[in-house]
Amino acid sequence: MTSNRKRMDEVLEHAAGAAEHPGDREAEELRGIVDRLRALPRHEPRFDLAPAILARIAAEESDEEARAAVFPRIWLAAAAVLVLLLGAGLLLFKAHERHPPGNRVAILSASAEWLVNAQEKDGSWNPVRWGGRSEYTVALTGLAMMALAGPEGGGRNPAAEAACRRAAGYLVARQGGDGCFGPAIAGRLYNHGIATTALLKAAPAPDRPVAGSLDMALRFIASAQSPEGAWGYTGGITGADNTSITVWQVRALLEAKSAGRQGLEAPAGRAVRWLAARVDERGRFGYESSGDSGTESGSLTAMGASCVMDPRLGGGTEDLKARVRLALALPPEETGLADFYRDFFLVDALDKAGDREAAEMAEAVRKAMTARHECSIQRDGSWTPDGRWGQVGGKIYSTALATLSLDSRRRM
């Protein structure tokens, strides 16, 4: 609307003229407002608001003619502030128009677009740029890659598919000679399990380099498994196996099984037996042993449940699954913080449960997540990393996990 631009320029010129009073404090303030307004980018509104604003200014000037000359300048300053606020409001309005409240499809599309635009030239997603930690670049690249893959894998659209291909190239290049992805840190198996899962789930096929990389990656998972059947931190931090790291290796084995890879029954069987032994009488998973979940009960139970309730894994008894299913219905621990990680595993486990009540619970989690996005001032498609683990993963973590969680067609 060129008329809107012209009228806005008229308002600014009018305000600028009123600001030409050297030494006047109000005039100095008004000049600052005008300069900031002129520096703002131009965004066209759907509705022509300028006539109403100009009419209001004219009416106020007419009503105040009898007052001292300083008052018209004050009203003009107020009008300039109003225009500034309207400009900010129009930005929010355009975002609101693009992502209508409650429109999950639109939110997912916008999140995917944001992830595509946030990808680096080398195919990675740099967490430091978005409030995360560099040592988990490999894992966060894997999460973003999975978020961009459609329910059947391969990408939602050409841009997402191209992003997945670049990400696959980056991950393959970050694989060490032992088959492990990422740097040699204590939490290297987080990077490795997520990267392996992402390549199995989201890498465009056929891709010979990726296939060779996956052979090495799966051999590393098998070799790093403890005799008891689980995985833990490396580097002497703690030698104990734990549920959190184990789950990501199991998810990689599950994806490999779905891809038709053979010879994984033995490590998968040991893993499910180890996980089953971490479940207490109420169906809650512990961290290293049964009953030691503490404040992480909700997250650990959701993580473990996403594995033992997966029909691809096998080995979980009906009694075990029934106990775990009851635990999923318990209210999560109250921390006052959003938990994208827990919610990602929770909706996945509830989807796998397959009953009506579980489906309703999963939908409630997704609705709460959608409402959280609608309340955020960041309406560009990304998700504010304001919850637990946000300082580790940053906006890549929150946006990727939210995207994965909201798409009910997925089976991870």
pLDDT tens digit string along 9-23? 654 565 555 555 545
Tell which wins on pLDDT, 4 or 166.
166
pLDDT tens digit string along 329-352? 876 665 556 789 999 999 999 999
Biggest CA-to-CA distance, the chain: 92
Local confidence band at 192 (pLDDT 50, 70, 90 cut-offs): very high
Local confidence band at 408 (pLDDT 50, 70, 90 cut-offs): low
- pLDDT on residue 403: 94
Local confidence band at 315 (pLDDT 50, 70, 90 cut-offs): low
pLDDT tens digit string along 133-145? 999 999 999 999 9
Instruction: Please give the C-alpha separations between residue 341 and each of 144, 244, 257, 278, 404, in angstroms, as whole numbers.
Output: 14, 11, 24, 20, 10
Question: How distant is the alpha carbon of residue 260 from its chain centre?
Answer: 30
CA atoms within a 13 Å half-sphere pointing along the CA-CB vector of 258: 19
Phi and psi at 222, nearest 5°, equal: -65, -40
How much is the pTM? 0.74
Cβ contact 81:349 at 8 Å: no
Cβ contact 277:292 at 8 Å: no
Local confidence band at 319 (pLDDT 50, 70, 90 cut-offs): confident
pLDDT tens digit string along 372-405? 877 766 668 899 988 888 889 999 999 999 999 9
Tell which wins on pLDDT, 366 or 19.
366
Cβ contact 183:137 at 8 Å: no
Highest mean pLDDT among 248-252, 290-294, 317-321: 248-252
> How far is 17 from 144, CA to CA, in rounded Å?
51
pLDDT tens digit string along 70-79? 445 544 444 5
- pLDDT on residue 213: 95
Phi and psi at 334, nearest 5°, equal: -85, 115
pLDDT tens digit string along 261-274? 988 889 998 998 99
CATH number for domain 104-406, candidates 1.10.3210.10, 3.30.450.20, 3.20.20.70, 1.50.10.20: 1.50.10.20
3-state secondary structure labels for all residues of the chain? CHHHHHHHHHHHHHHHHHCCCCCCHHHHHHHHHHHHHHHCCCCCCCCCCHHHHHHHHHHHHHHCCCCCCHHHHHHHHHHHHHHHHHHHHHHHHHHHHHCCCCCHHHHHHHHHHHHHHHCCCCCCCCHHHHCCCHHHHHHHHHHHHHHHCCCCCCCCCHHHHHHHHHHHHHHHHCECCCCCECCCCCCHHHHHHHHHHHHHHHCCCCCHHHHHHHHHHHHHHHHHCCCCCCCECCCCCCCCECHHHHHHHHHHHHHHHHCCCCCCHHHHHHHHHHHHCCECCCCCECCCCCCCCHHHHHHHHHHHHHHHCCCCCCCCCHHHHHHHHHHHCCCCCCCCCCCHHHHHHHHHHHHHHCCHHHHHHHHHHHHHHHHHHHHCCCCCCCCCCCCCCHHHHHHHHHHHHHHHHHCCCCCC
Which residues belong to CATH 1.50.10.20 in the chain?
104-406
